[in-house]
Structure 1
Amino acid sequence: MLEWLTAPFAYDFMSRAIMCATLIGAVCALLSCFVTLKGLSLMGDALSHAVVPGVAIAWWAGWPLTLAAFITGLLAVGAMGVVRRHTALKGDAVIGVVFTAFLALGLVIVSLNPAGVQLSTILFGNLLGIGDGQALQLMLMSLGCVLAIGLCWKDLRLVCFDERHAWCIGLPVRRLNALLLALLSLMTVAGLQAVGALLVMAMLITPGATAWLVSHRLGHMLCLAPVCGGGSAFLGSWLSFHTNTSVGGTIVLLQTGLFLVVLMISSCLGRRRTRRMVAAVEATS
């Protein structure tokens, strides 16, 4: 039994994959609390597709994948800001126009050099193929994200809950929003290498949504979400070894399953609480 439990750790590539998945899952979950509260889910989903041109160009030209994808994400965010300032279009329409254009550009680049770009790796990730250098990059990116959140979480909290009040007390709201989008781009690139462009948003939304079902206090969410995200990533990576299934798919299914369990429990507790309140009102009337 013990040998079966520890079997994945007998392989260096699997140990490295589990470590990276757990780290990315926990840090993405930390950021997902702000994504959930700020309503950036659509933006994050679009970013996960908008970085495709950067990944394709990096593979084609032999550039660092992480840097190219991150720059592409920032360019996409900047392009969205320009279009929104110069048109009367709503945010969701701007996101749809800009980020689908970036995705289309990425697909065109891939088609120009199909042998040099692994489209399946872009879409589904390649967690088991991460080397020591890439693992170090992911650790530095995750550390940078955690440090930024740790230094600015109080200001980010106010911007997420009441942006107008943040303006009134003189907080640099535009810079904080830009920081949040930059961190979202950064962790989108990190998650891209783990679960791919199609599933990365699950790691940036589901843990925060699960924590929100348990508590609406940001402090509690920041404690619960990394446990949900990191734990699901660890267990999903370990389980995929024994079931011979997709690592990213297994991780996301576990996160979704946990969300559904918490949703059912919170719904039952909510109904009980409502019945008690109704009974108390009837007893006093």
Structure 2
Amino acid sequence: MITLEKILACPKCKTLLKVKNEKLYCLRCKIPYAKEDGIWQLLYLKDSQGRKSQKEYDMAHKKYFGGPDDGSYEILSAMARGNETVDIACGEGQIEKLSPETVAVEFSQNALIKAKKNGAKYLVLADAHSLPFADNSFDVSISAGNIEHFQNPQKAINEMARVSRIQVMTVHRHLPIPFGKFLFHLVTNIFNIKHQPLEKPISEGQLVKLVEKAGLHIVFKGVWTLPVNYGKVIPFLPVFEKIPSCYFVISVKR
């Protein structure tokens, strides 16, 4: 069982935090961090774009903002169980519902409140670009369909590499159909229909470069079939359930 307070670090300088008056405290930055409603408040956002995205996601999570019910979270939670695992951008805790010992990280307080209701035991409000953990804190880190929504995917993967030995990532790609990239541009930029504030589908080649640049060795890679348009984001289109809509990578730090 993980002792969360022993691995929490300052999101700014990565110094291990010290317990002081029922709070955690960074001796270098002189900043206290509190726990509210069972959630450690360690969010550090450097720029206005990050703060804007955080507010938009927090508003979205006031309503239902869950993921598909196609078995993918069962697979990911099986990878998490039995390991010291962190779920980065955990959303409303679909993995934690099946693997409650997983450390749930989100920059939306509303999402973490729902994750707690779904059974998550360890909750941390933090940004994927500035994870508040000591180096090598986890066996496994998981990012399920989030890399393409991050402002700086490279920095987020670098952080996964820093805090974990094994990294599991699924990322959305452009639809594997003729003119898929054009259709994405048409829907998101012309019609202004988006599922999330930042939408930047990643190619397999881009993903491989990001992972390798983080100093990681890819063990497995392939395609992952996730439903497209779940939640009927584009109302006039159906839900496509059998399209290889994602790439996945499992990497290790040597």
- Shared fold (TM-score greater than 0.5)? no
**Structure ranking higher on relative contact order (CA contacts 8 Å, 6+ apart):** 1
More strand by percentage: 2
More helix by percentage: 1
Compute the TM-score of the two structures, normalised by the length of structure 1: 0.19
